[in-house]
Copies of this chain bind each other. A is one copy, B any other.
């Protein structure tokens, strides 16, 4: 296992996550790949929970993604009762055997919990192409079930990490129809991070009582502006899974669409917090980059431009080198495929406009610019000057650390 330097964006401590009534968690070291750390996580949900999910859009989805897709499509049958996650092997590109393995894992968890396999969601992260260490996972299921507790958030968040340098958690409170509810989230990065969706596992838990259809809409919308708005390397995983479980134990009255504004805000906040933690823990990251695009033809064009900038190795190495090489931003804008009028294009770094009207700003005082680039949070703002489309995405710089980690990850 590679011991990368801790991200400068790691919090001093894992945040305090409150209990979510109806959710219990446990973690264990099944020893499938890592030594001296937990690598298996089980969450249990009380009967009657609802679930929504967003899954990897790759053409080669891993076995757990296929399993979750089946469960999410299964319209009326099963409320979710559990979530089983292992780190180390992705169980992707493992054929029929991989599908059998995910089913067998869920059967073991179901047996330990006294529910049905089809009530157990699964996610895996790690090396692609290696088989799941099935007996180690099934063997650990009874121990996991026995260890379930309401305050297991930090160990659960740690157990699902791979090259992450810190465990990621977030929480927020909201009110639905006057009733307080909580949303907790845990997530892992930190390579193969690109939309469709961001290469990651993210799990949200709430005690709110929200009908499944509304839950799905809320998750999809929040996902687009959070996990689908970060990128580390433009590489999209086979194994992305984001699930939102709602136990309904808060006892709020059944909400209408208009009752969910505060819940929507809180869900967005938790997911954005986690997304920024993932981007800030991007492999080798020393700086977090926010790319904002305004004035595009529409939001879609704005996001294409923002992602083109955020994925450009030349922009990301310039930021790593603390070099205000905004010409590379121009290049990345130009290759995005969106409608651009160079004469209306303006670029600002750290709030300082460096180029507008198709050329550089004359006699620019570079001192505040250079000061900004020495910081940890870098802002790049592009105004296309065409219409009202906008987007904001986050990425990290491209450093020697990324090479270090990824030239030696598998072995």
Q: Which A residues contact B (CB, under 8 angstroms)? A: 58-61, 90, 92-98, 127-130, 191-192, 194, 196, 233-238, 311-314, 317-318, 320-321, 323, 325-328, 330-340, 342-343, 345, 355, 357-360, 398-400, 402-404, 406-411
Nearest CB of chain B from residue A371's CB, rounded to whole Å = 15
Nearest CB of chain B from residue A128's CB, rounded to whole Å = 3
Closest to A325 in B: B410
Q: A339: which B residues are within 8 A, CB to CB?
A: 59
**This chain: how many copies in the complex?**
2
B92 pairs with A60, CB closer than 8 A: no
Q: A334: which B residues are within 8 A, CB to CB?
A: 58-61, 236, 238
Given A327-B92, A331-B236, check contact A402 B313 (CB 8 Å).
yes
Nearest CB of chain B from residue A249's CB, rounded to whole Å = 38
Query: What are 27 A-B pairs at a CB distance below 8 A?
Result: A59-B335, A59-B338, A61-B334, A95-B343, A96-B358, A98-B359, A128-B327, A128-B330, A129-B360, A130-B360, A233-B314, A235-B312, A235-B313, A235-B328, A235-B335, A236-B331, A236-B334, A313-B402, A317-B403, A317-B407, A320-B403, A321-B408, A321-B409, A323-B407, A327-B410, A400-B403, A402-B403
Closest to A343 in B: B95
A328 pairs with B97, CB closer than 8 A: no
B330 pairs with A95, CB closer than 8 A: no
Given A59-B342, A335-B196, A407-B323, check contact A92 B402 (CB 8 Å).
no
A313 is contacted by which of B332, B335, B337, B406 (Cβ under 8 Å)?
Answer: B406
A58 pairs with B236, CB closer than 8 A: no
